């Protein structure tokens, strides 16, 4: 008797499990369908967002390229009060500061990555890696502030008329670009198969020879990518640069003391002047126009970096 | 032997360069702590600025940054986690997916000041939110997307495939599998990514310059369409825009911002290691 | 009796071009232990995962031919895959308890199917554990983490977890690969009892195990079925030379 009830109950439960309409929509419930739709939409929204960013930059910045003759845009006078919008000094400013930062940061970053990946004992790695992460976490305004109150006086001591120079900016920027350069280079070194190293060491190469002749060449595309992305970081940095580069919109004279002249970058120009312009004015549009230039430049850099090592980009996702 | 000498020299140079990177980091943090600790007081943290901001505290700026961070989270998290799930669980290996990935890489590369321009053009002006917490949060939230998406995707991908197989072999749907097996296990990684992203947002200045930040406000914000003060912008203002600002107040503000951001980073790291240890596979 | 599962001229290719199955045809009658054996990479796992469409989880694959479960093609558009997977239990080579307690593991499939009743769940827990010969060992620790079980217990838990859904077919893909002889014996014994109620398809750990448990057996090689027959015949007087070589250990 007990068995019979149990049997009946069992059949009933099974029937409950089975008695589901075949339609996918009904079976999985509308909530699940809705959730999956939302998930897909959020994935696709990233494309839309990039598009929208570009769209809004163009919407506000287009008059730059329509209303100002190209010759003026490439001229050497940035003097908005008189209606002179030569982007050349700003381009050169960004270029000088970024180049300086890269010249400092790339050797430092690569060697630090080599140290972390090839030389440092594990206990040091445990301490140093988080430290580099901490550097990545320090807000740019804090570094800019420090540059302003401590580094600038030191630079001035070097004989510059002011401490707020391209060099000051490059130094600060270098440290801001370092974490990205170090972590991507480290990934690139790490991806070199262990057999390469073992093989070189086995035929009697020293550790340094192994690194120099075998590991670095094998990792070169990854290292190139680290450099590209370091450049991307440096070009886009705003606040720290604005605080310490002196913001003089002149093309500095070529020469040995060029690093010691004040410059003004594209980013700093936007940040410093947007607050004072009338919305809809030509000056306002030009600031957006500079934004377009920055967008296109960083987009291109990322594209090239992505081409360099598609797999590394994919592995690291958007976090470069 | 010459070879050995080169080896020694090279190692010494490399070690020296690494020291050149690491030592300044330690020094910078120590220096700010030493210089700023004197300014920290209960009043500094809880009072409003007085006397042209040279006295009193920085509470409105701290509060503003906390509000903006919360706003960033609200904007960013649903989208970012949705996109991460999409990439890790739904996206096929096709052209559309490659476009999505390309978009994320490029979002990560766009300069923060350009996000600021976008926020100004899209939220402040076009959608007429004005300079407001709403516009600032939207801007910061979008800027934070790529970091959170990529760390969350990595966390989701690190969940062993067996759990998906087992769950689906037991008749769970794809979403049920994600909801009950994948997400719980990816959570530590996802949370780490979220906090890292938020700590970055909390320290950003450029995106809030034209979208929300106020130089000085006599009263606290009362709705999302108000402006607010914020720590990073406040530091900028009192350093470069207000003459005669006592250095101790500047260092104090820098220290508070640094502590806020770094403690978020620390929390993220602790959560990650804690929850990793608790995993049982 | 009609076959529980009928495979008809199935070809299967992975995204990288690997032809894992080539013109496979097979009939599996209900209430028996059908053993599918053969060397590594013969395509056994691939074939088994077609039965419950777990193959769907891999991208870019192509399937030709038909796989009929209870007479209906699983690749038909109208097939309810979720329901199919509830009707076909599957146990994997590595015991994979889901994180959580023993009870949570056992009730997972049911809960996902929307079964809410506590009584019902408890009843199924006890029944499935009993059928998998784990009840005595596990009854006092249902609320403990499943990860605390031994390897053999974990695998029996995985069997019980499939049985909790009252499937019609139970597929075991090399379920004793990581187990010690004693645990292996316990799993084999529980299978023997289970074939009264379920159709069991199993990839064995070894030819010896195949011979011990099989009612019928099929020998697979390089994505093709070489020979199918009753266990006595396949392991006693195989008709095909390759089968004989493999069964007698002269293979390779
Ligand atoms: N996901 C996959 N992608 C591409 N090829 C695969 C995949 N899975 C299996 N294969 C290939 O398909 C063929 C059959 O593999 P399958 O796993 O079905 O063999 P098997 O008989 O189960 O082997 P084993 O005894 O090792 O488990 C093999 O050549 C294998 O390399
Ligand atoms: Mg297999």
Residues A205-263 have pLDDT tens digits of 888 888 888 888 888 888 888 888 889 889 999 999 999 998 887 777 777 677 788 89
Is residue A9 pLDDT above 60, yes or no? no
Q: How far apart are CA C130 and CA C190, in angstroms?
A: 9
Position B142 scores a pLDDT of 97
**Average pLDDT of span A82-110:** 91
pLDDT digits (tens, 9 = 90+) for C132-146: 989 999 999 999 999
Q: In the numeric block, which tokens belong to residue A298?
A: 């960083």
Cα separation, C53 vs C72, in Å, equals 13
- The burial class, CB within 10 Å (0-12 / 13-18 / 19+), for A149 is middle
User: Distance between CA atoms of B17 and C250, rounded to whole angstroms?
Assistant: 62
CA of C45 to the centre of ligand 2 (A): 4
Nearest residue in B to C83, CA atom: B171
Residues of C in contact with B181 (CB under 8 A): 98-99
Burial class (CB in 10 A: 0-12, 13-18, 19+), C118: exposed
Please say if the pLDDT value at position A13 is more than 60: no
Question: Are C24 and C47 within 8 A, CB to CB?
Answer: yes
The whole-number pLDDT of residue A23 equals 38
Q: Tokens 């827990």, residue? A: C125
- The model's pLDDT over C73-129, given as tens digits with 9 standing for 90+, comes to 999 888 899 999 999 999 999 999 999 999 999 999 999 998 889 999 999 999 999
Whether residue C78 lies within 8 A of chain A, CB to CB, comes out as yes
Report the residue from C78, C113, C123 with minimal CB separation from A17: C113
- Fold annotation for A68-319: MetI-like fold (1.10.3720)
Cβ within 8 Å of residue C105, ≥6 positions away = C97, C98, C146, C157, C161
Using alpha carbons, select from A268, A246, A270 the residue that is nearest to residue A258: A246
Q: What architecture (CATH level 2) is domain C5-247?
A: 3-Layer(aba) Sandwich (3.40)
Q: Are strands C72-73 and B55-56 parallel, antiparallel or unpaired?
A: unpaired
Q: Indicate which residue's Cα is closest to atom 7 of ligand 1.
A: C14
How far is B98 from A306, CA to CA, in rounded Å? 11
Angle between helices A166-190 and A122-137 (to 10 degrees): 140
- CA A227, distance to chain mean position in Å, is 11
Q: With left for phi above 0 and alpha for psi between -120 and 50, is residue B159 left, alpha or beta?
A: beta
Least confident piece of the model among A4-8, A164-168, B69-73: A4-8
The reply to whether residue C82 touches residue B171, judged by beta carbons under 8 angstroms, is: yes
Q: Please say if the pLDDT value at position A320 is more than 60.
A: no
Q: Which residue has the tokens 């180049």?
A: A99
Beta strands in C48-166 (DSSP E): 62-69, 72-73, 88-91
Residue A13's H or E segment, with its range, is helix A2-18
B135/B127 Cα distance (integer angstroms): 9
Tell me the pLDDT band of B54, cut-offs 50, 70 and 90: confident
Looking at residues B126-145, what average pLDDT do you find? 96
Q: How far apart are CA A245 and CA A164, in angstroms?
A: 5
Contact B167 C145 (CB under 8 A): no
Q: How far apart are CA B163 and CA B157, in angstroms?
A: 12
pLDDT, residue B257, reads 96
Q: What is the pLDDT of residue C1?
A: 65
Q: Are A194 and A270 in contact (CB under 8 A)?
A: no
Residues 6+ apart with CB under 8 A from A294: A235, A236, A266, A267, B111, B113, B114
Question: Is B262 among the domain residues?
Answer: yes
Contact residues, A window 58-117, toward B, CB-based 8 Å cutoff: 59-60, 107-109, 111-112, 114-116
Q: In the predicted model, is pLDDT for residue C130 greater than 90?
A: yes
User: In which band, very low, low, confident or very high, does the pLDDT at A18 lie, cut at 50, 70 and 90?
Assistant: very low
Contact A281, A290 (CB under 8 A): no
Measure the CA–CA gap between B112 and B139, rounded to whole angstroms.
Answer: 10
Q: Which two tokens stand for residue C173?
A: 């893909």
- What is the predicted pLDDT for the residue at A319? 40
DSSP letters, C13-81, are: E-TTS-EEEEEEEEEE-SSSEEEEE-STTSSHHHHHHHHTTGGGGSTT-EEEEEEEETTEETTSTT--H
Would you say B207 and B123 are in contact if contact means Cβ atoms under 8 Å apart?
no
Best of C7, C12, C19, C43 to mutate for ligand 1, by most ligand atoms within 8 A of CB? C43
Q: How many domains does chain B have?
A: 1
Structure confidence at residue A5 as a pLDDT band (50, 70, 90): very low
Nearest-by-Cβ selection for C112 from B162, B171, B184: B171
Domain ranges, ordered by start, for chain C: 5-247
Query: Least CA distance to C91: which residue of chain B?
Result: B166
- Residue in C60, C85, C158 nearest the CB of B171: C85
C-beta neighbour count of A35 within 10 angstroms? 17
C-alpha distances in Å from residue C42, one per residue of C48, C60, C205, C222, C230:
12, 20, 14, 5, 20
* Residue nearest ligand 1's atom 4 by CA: C14
Q: Tell me what pLDDT residue A312 has.
A: 45
The percentage of chain C sitting over the pLDDT mark of 70, rounded to a whole number, equals: 99
Q: What is the pLDDT of residue A26?
A: 39
Which pLDDT value is given to residue A12? 42
Backbone torsions φ then ψ of C179, nearest 5 degrees: -100, 155
pLDDT in tens, C56-78: 988 889 999 999 999 999 998 88
Report residue B62 as tokens.
């701290």
How far is B155 from B188, CA to CA, in rounded Å? 8
Q: State the Cα–Cα distance between residues B189 and B152, nearest whole angstrom.
A: 6
**Strand segments (E) across chain A:** 78-79, 84-85
The mean pLDDT value for C45-49 works out to: 96
Confidence bin at B1 (pLDDT 50/70/90)? low
**Does some domain include residue B172?**
yes
pLDDT tens digits for B188-224?
Answer: 889 989 998 999 999 999 999 999 988 888 889 888 9
From residue C166, give the alpha-carbon distance in Å to each of B9, C97, C196.
Answer: 72, 18, 13
Determine the Cα–Cα distance for residues B151 and A182; give it in Å rounded to an integer: 18
How far does CA C176 lie from the centroid of its chain?
A: 12
**What are the phi and psi torsion angles at B125 (to 5°)?**
-95, -55
- Position of tokens 């596990």? C138
Residue range(s) defining the domain that contains residue B250: 59-277
Instruction: Calculate mean pLDDT across residues C161-166.
Output: 94
Task: DSSP letter for A252, please.
Answer: P
pLDDT given for residue B69 in this prediction: 96
Query: What is the C-alpha to C-alpha distance for residues C89 and C170, in angstroms, rounded to an integer?
Result: 5
User: Would you state the pLDDT for residue A260?
Assistant: 81
Question: In the predicted model, is pLDDT for residue B269 greater than 80?
Answer: no
Chain A residue with CA closest to C109: the answer is: A17
**Please, are residues A119 and A208 in contact by the beta-carbon 8 Å criterion?**
no
Alpha carbon A119 to chain centroid distance?
A: 27
Q: Tokens for A260, please give them.
A: 């010691």
DSSP, collapsed to helix, strand or coil, labels residue A68 as: coil
Q: Please, what is the average pLDDT of chain C?
A: 92
Q: Tokens standing for C80?
A: 């309810």
Please report whether residue B170 resides in a domain.
Answer: yes
In whole angstroms, give the CA distance from residue C105 to residue C123.
Answer: 14
pLDDT, position C78: 87
Strand order, beta sheet including C224-230:
C88-91, C169-173, C199-203, C33-37, C216-221, C224-230
| Count of H-run helices and E-run strands, chain C | 10, 10
The answer to whether the CB of C227 falls within 8 A of the CB of C200 is: no
CATH number of B74's domain: 1.10.3720.10
> CA nearest B174: which of B86, B276, B106, B100?
B86
User: What does the block give as tokens for C166?
Assistant: 């009252």
**Residue A65's pLDDT band (cuts 50, 70, 90):** confident
In this prediction, residue C167 carries a pLDDT of: 94
Of C65, B85, B45, C180, the C-alpha closest to A44 is B85
Pairwise CA distance, residues A198 & A172, whole Å: 39
**Ordered DSSP codes for A241-307:** HHHHSB---SPPPSSTTGGGS-B--HHHHHHHHGGGSPTTSHHHHHHHHHHHHHHHHHHHHHHHHHH
- For residue A15, pLDDT beyond 60: no
Residue C73 burial (10 A CB sphere; 0-12, 13-18, 19+) = middle
Domain presence at residue B65: yes
Find out whether B109 and A236 touch, Cβ atoms under 8 Å: yes
A-proximal residues of B, 93-122, CB under 8 Å: 96, 99-118, 120-122
What value does the mean pLDDT of chain B take? 90
Q: Kindly list the residues from chain B whose CB atom is less than 8 angstroms away from the CB atom of residue A31.
A: none
């Amino acid at each position: 008797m007990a068995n019979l009830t149990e049997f009946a109950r069992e059949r009933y439960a099974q029937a409950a499990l089975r008695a589901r309409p075949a339609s996918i929509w009904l079976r999985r419930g509308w909530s699940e369908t809705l959730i999956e739709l939302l998930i897909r939409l959020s994935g696709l929204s990233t494309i839309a967002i990039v598009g929208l960013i570009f769209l809004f930059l163009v919407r506000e910045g287009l008059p730059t390229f329509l209303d100002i003759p190209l010759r003026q845009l490439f001229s050497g006078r940035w003097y908005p009060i008189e209606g002179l919008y030569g982007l050349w000094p700003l381009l050169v400013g960004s270029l000088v500061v970024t180049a300086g930062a890269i010249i400092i940061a790339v050797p430092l970053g690569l060697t630090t990555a080599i140290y972390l990946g090839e030389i440092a004992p594990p206990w040091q790695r445990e301490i140093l890696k988080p430290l580099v992460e901490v550097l990545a976490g320090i807000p740019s305004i804090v570094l800019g502030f420090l540059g302003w109150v401590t580094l600038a006086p030191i630079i001035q001591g070097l004989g510059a008329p002011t401490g707020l120079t391209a060099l000051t900016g490059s130094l600060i920027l270098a440290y801001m670009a370092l974490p990205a350069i170090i972590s991507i280079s480290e990934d690139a070194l790490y991806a070199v198969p262990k057999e390469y190293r073992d093989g070189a060491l086995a035929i009697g190469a020293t550790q340094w020879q192994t690194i120099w002749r075998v590991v670095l060449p094998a990792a070169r595309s990854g290292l190139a990518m680290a450099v590209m992305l370091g450049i991307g970081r440096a070009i886009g940095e705003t606040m720290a640069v604005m605080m310490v580069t002196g913001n003089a919109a002149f093309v500095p004279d070529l020469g040995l003391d060029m690093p010691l002249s004040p410059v003004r970058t594209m980013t700093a120009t936007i940040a410093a002047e947007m607050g004072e312009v009338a919305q809809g004015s030509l000056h306002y549009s030009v600031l957006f126009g500079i934004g377009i230039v920055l967008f296109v430049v960083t987009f291109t850099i990322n594209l090239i970096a992505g081409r360099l090592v598609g797999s590394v980009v994919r592995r690291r996702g958007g976090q470069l | 032997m010459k070879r050995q000498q080169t080896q020694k020299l090279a190692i010494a140079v490399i070690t020296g360069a690494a020291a050149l990177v690491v030592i300044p980091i330690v020094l910078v943090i120590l220096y700010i702590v030493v210089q700023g600790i004197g300014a920290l007081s209960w009043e500094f943290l809880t009072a409003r600025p007085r006397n042209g901001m040279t006295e009193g505290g920085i509470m409105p700026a701290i509060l503003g940054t906390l509000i903006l961070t919360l706003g960033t989270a609200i904007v960013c998290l649903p989208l970012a986690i949705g996109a991460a799930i999409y990439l890790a669980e739904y996206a096929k290996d096709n052209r559309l997916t490659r476009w999505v990935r390309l978009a994320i890489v490029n979002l990560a590369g766009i300069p923060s000041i350009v996000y600021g321009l976008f926020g100004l053009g899209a939220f402040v002006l076009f959608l007429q939110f004005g300079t407001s917490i709403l516009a600032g949060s939207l801007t910061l939230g979008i800027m934070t997307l790529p970091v959170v998406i990529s760390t969350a995707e990595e966390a989701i991908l690190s969940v062993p495939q067996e759990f998906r197989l087992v769950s689906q072999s037991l008749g769970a749907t794809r979403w049920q599998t994600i909801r009950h097996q994948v997400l719980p296990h990816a959570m530590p990684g996802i949370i780490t990514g979220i906090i890292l992203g938020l700590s970055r947002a909390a320290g950003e200045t450029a995106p809030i310059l034209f979208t929300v930040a106020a130089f000085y406000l006599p009263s606290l914000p009362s709705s999302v369409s108000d402006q607010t003060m914020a720590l990073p912008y406040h530091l900028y203002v009192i350093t470069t825009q207000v003459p005669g600002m006592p250095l101790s107040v500047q260092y104090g503000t820098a220290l508070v911002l640094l502590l806020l951001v770094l403690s978020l980073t620390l929390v993220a790291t602790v959560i990650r290691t804690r929850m990793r240890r608790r995993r049982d596979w | 009796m009609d076959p529980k599962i009928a495979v008809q001229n199935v070809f299967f290719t992975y995204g990288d071009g690997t032809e894992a199955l080539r013109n496979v045809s097979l009939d599996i009658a209900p209430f028996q232990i059908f053993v599918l054996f053969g060397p590594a990479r013969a395509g056994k796992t691939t074939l088994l995962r077609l039965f419950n469409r777990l193959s769907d989880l891999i991208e870019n694959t192509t399937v030709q031919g038909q796989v009929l479960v209870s007479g209906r093609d699983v690749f038909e558009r109208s097939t309810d895959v979720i329901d199919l997977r509830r009707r076909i239990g599957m146990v994997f080579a590595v015991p994979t308890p889901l994180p959580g307690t023993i009870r949570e593991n056992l009730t997972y499939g049911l809960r996902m199917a929307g079964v809410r009743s506590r009584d019902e769940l408890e009843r199924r827990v006890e029944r499935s554990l009993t059928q998998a010969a784990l009840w005595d060992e596990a009854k006092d620790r249902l609320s403990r983490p499943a990860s605390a079980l031994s390897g053999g217990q974990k695998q029996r838990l995985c069997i019980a977890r499939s049985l909790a859904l009252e499937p019609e077919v139970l597929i075991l893909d090399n379920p004793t690969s990581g187990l010690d002889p004693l645990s292996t014996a316990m799993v084999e014994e529980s299978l023997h009892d289970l074939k009264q109620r379920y159709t069991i398809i199993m990839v064995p750990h070894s030819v010896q195990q195949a011979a011990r448990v099989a009612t019928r057996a099929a020998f697979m090689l390089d994505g093709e079925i070489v020979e199918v027959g009753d266990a006595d015949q396949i392991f006693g007087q195989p008709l095909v030379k390759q089968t004989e070589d493999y069964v007698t250990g002269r293979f390779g």
